[in-house]
């Protein structure tokens, strides 16, 4: 979608304010660049020298370890011998394989796997063999962190539980990611994002008021758990710096999702009132939801009475609404939600989305278009911020992916390694552990690696 430049420009506290919804891509990038007077320097990778043994699969665990890898940690992803991380087989879509690519017998690199495994090294180890366990024990002895997402008790039965590993390395941070945590009646149950979305309240509040419960369009419970785990590991590393001792981190989808209920959880705990589904609307603010236009949708968030007055006068062309006792305060608008929502809808349906984007620009009322994924990555702000990065993958060639989300002194952490293909670094890592070429070949012949 191209946005027309027909907007008001204002001065605020001496700074030029250009409304975001109607600025050209070129002008936006030039404006953003003009605020930088010196080169962007970033910071040295803060986790350089930290070694992490990654025994996780799918999303929550791999996301947590990828965030640590982005900060410079050496993350060694230990995978099952023949198929590796489950998400390697979750395709299409997958990146095409270039000619003369290594490991031609492997399937293509799935888009899902590429999502959460950059900056890591991959080795394959058969944990059911004593020689395989010995490899992992050697890794643990040298590691700072181990991250796993097996059902509670599974790794302990194999000699890789917390008690086993801290005997090998008392300074080890051992992070366990599960569905329901290490204790409680559900601790042994497998955890899946969509199940926890339902069981921990998120699905109950997601969807239209007159429709069935609905899952979120991305695995947000997995993502939240990965973020919580990443933060917990960073805290555990700081704790170890103070005490010299390792820590067992118990992270899980169930607790993470309940914590993620935020104000909805607080509303219930304080008032005892059951939550309802509101679609894109807000239970306590009106208008604060998606509205249809003639050819698309627009999100409007008039969060206070001043913003509603601006909306009534400049968009609805109904200034009297701001003084009407039914709509003059947020509480009144919540009570008369259906009526005011219909008034706004009737007005917006008279014109196309771009017309309203112009009208809202510079008005002071929060708003935004509902973009598809293509429009999201073509957004002027996404381009100006450099939200994607292109890496050279040994099997797939040039691969584009979402860049790390945070900048430090104006610069993102670099992607030093593309997501690895299965077993790409097995020989390299074993050599670092002291195995010679003949020992490595013997292990490979026995299907240990």
- Rounded to 10°, the helix 220-243/60-70 angle is 50
Q: Is the peptide bond before 92 cis (omega within 30 degrees of 0)?
A: yes
Count of the separate structural domains present in the chain:
2
| Judgement on whether residues 184 and 300 belong to the same structural domain of the protein | no
Across-strand partners of 368?
A: 299
User: Which candidate, 151, 139, 197, places its Cα nearest to that of 176?
Assistant: 151
| Judgement on whether residues 167 and 116 belong to the same structural domain of the protein | yes
| Judgement on whether residues 173 and 317 belong to the same structural domain of the protein | no
Q: Are 178 and 61 contacting, i.e. CB atoms less than 8 angstroms apart? A: no
| Judgement on whether residues 301 and 204 belong to the same structural domain of the protein | no
- pTM exceeding 0.85: yes
Tell me the residue range of the domain where 206 lies: 51-96+107-260+419-445
| Judgement on whether residues 202 and 302 belong to the same structural domain of the protein | no
Task: Point out the domain boundary residue: 338, 355, 370.
Answer: 370
Q: How far is CA 260 from CA 202, 203, 227, 255, 263, in A?
A: 9, 12, 11, 9, 9
| Judgement on whether residues 332 and 248 belong to the same structural domain of the protein | no
pLDDT attached to residue 40: 58
| Judgement on whether residues 221 and 297 belong to the same structural domain of the protein | no
> 357-378 pLDDT, tens per residue?
999 999 999 999 999 999 999 9
Is 238 a domain residue? yes
From 54, 85, 193, 222, active-site residue: 222
Q: What is the domain-level CATH number for residue 326?
A: 3.30.1540.10
Our answer to whether residue 70 is catalytic in this structure is no
| Judgement on whether residues 196 and 65 belong to the same structural domain of the protein | yes
> 7-30 pLDDT, tens per residue?
333 323 233 333 444 444 334 434
Is 226 a domain residue? yes
Is 266 a domain residue? no
Is 78 a domain residue? yes
| Judgement on whether residues 111 and 215 belong to the same structural domain of the protein | yes
Is 192 a domain residue? yes
| Mean pLDDT of the chain, nearest integer | 91
Task: Point out the domain boundary residue: 310, 338, 370.
Answer: 370
Is 114 a domain residue? yes
- Where b means 16+ CB within 10 Å and e means fewer, 36-63 reads eeeeeeeeebebeebbbbbbbbbbbbbb
| Judgement on whether residues 246 and 305 belong to the same structural domain of the protein | no
Task: Point out the domain boundary residue: 346, 370, 394.
Answer: 370
Could you give the CA distance from residue 375 to residue 1 in angstroms, rounded to a whole number? Answer: 7
| Judgement on whether residues 182 and 303 belong to the same structural domain of the protein | no
| Judgement on whether residues 70 and 163 belong to the same structural domain of the protein | yes
Is 162 a domain residue? yes
Is 383 a domain residue? no
pLDDT (tens digit, 0 to 9) for every residue of the chain, 449 residues total? 333 323 333 323 233 333 444 444 334 434 444 444 455 589 999 999 999 999 999 999 999 999 999 999 999 999 999 999 999 999 999 999 998 999 999 999 999 999 999 999 999 999 999 999 999 999 999 999 999 999 999 999 999 999 999 999 999 999 999 999 999 999 999 999 999 999 999 999 999 999 999 999 999 999 999 999 999 999 999 999 999 999 999 999 999 999 999 999 999 999 999 999 999 999 889 999 999 999 999 999 999 999 999 999 999 999 999 999 999 999 999 999 999 999 999 999 999 999 999 999 999 999 999 999 999 999 999 999 999 999 999 999 999 999 999 999 999 999 999 999 999 999 999 999 999 999 999 999 999 99
């Amino acid at each position: 979608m191209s946005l027309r430049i027909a907007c008001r420009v204002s001065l605020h506290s001496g700074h030029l304010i250009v409304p975001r919804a109607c600025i050209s891509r070129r002008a936006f990038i030039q404006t953003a660049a003009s605020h930088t007077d010196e080169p962007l320097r970033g910071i040295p990778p803060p986790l350089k020298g930290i070694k992490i043994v990654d025994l996780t699969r799918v999303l929550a665990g791999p996301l947590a370890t990828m965030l640590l890898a982005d900060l410079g940690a050496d993350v060694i992803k230990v995978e099952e011998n023949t198929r590796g991380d489950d998400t390697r087989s979750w395709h299409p879509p997958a990146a095409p394989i270039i000619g003369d690519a290594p490991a031609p017998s492997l399937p293509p690199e799935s888009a899902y796997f590429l999502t959460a495994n950059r900056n890591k090294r991959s080795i394959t180890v058969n944990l059911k063999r004593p020689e395989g366990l010995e490899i992992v024990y050697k890794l643990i002895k040298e590691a700072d962190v181990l991250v796993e997402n097996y059902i509670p008790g599974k790794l302990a039965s194999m000699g890789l539980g917390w008690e086993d590993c801290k005997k090998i390395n008392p300074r080890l941070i051992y992070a366990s990611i599960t569905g329901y945590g290490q204790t409680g009646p559900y601790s042994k149950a497998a955890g899946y994002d969509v199940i926890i979305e339902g069981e921990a309240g998120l699905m109950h509040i997601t969807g239209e008021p007159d429709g069935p419960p609905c899952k979120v369009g991305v695995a947000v419970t997995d993502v939240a758990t990965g973020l919580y785990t990443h933060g917990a590991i960073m805290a555990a590393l700081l704790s170890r710096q103070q005490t010299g001792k390792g820590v067992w981190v118990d992270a899980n989808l169930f607790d993470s999702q309940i914590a993620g209920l935020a104000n909805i959880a607080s509303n219930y705990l304080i008032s005892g009132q059951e939550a309802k589904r509101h679609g894109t609307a807000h239970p306590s603010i009106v208008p604060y939801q998606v509205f249809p236009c003639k050819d698309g949708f627009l999100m409007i968030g008039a969060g206070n009475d001043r913003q509603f007055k601006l909306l009534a006068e400049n968009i609805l062309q109904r200034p009297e609404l701001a003084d009407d006792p039914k709509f003059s305060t947020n509480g009144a608008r919540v009570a008369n939600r259906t009526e005011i929502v219909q008034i706004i809808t009737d007005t917006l349906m008279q014109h196309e989305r771009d017309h309203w984007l112009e009208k809202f620009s510079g008005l002071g009322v929060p708003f935004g278009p509902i973009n598809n994924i293509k429009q999201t990555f073509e957004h002027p702000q996404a381009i100006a911020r450099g939200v994607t990065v292109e890496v050279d993958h040994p099997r797939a060639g040039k691969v584009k992916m979402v860049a790390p989300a945070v900048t430090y002194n104006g610069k993102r952490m670099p992607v030093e390694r593309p997501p690895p293909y299965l077993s790409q670094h097995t020989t390299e890592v074993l050599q670092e552990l002291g195995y010679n070429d003949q020992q490595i070949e013997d292990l490979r012949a026995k299907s240990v690696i």
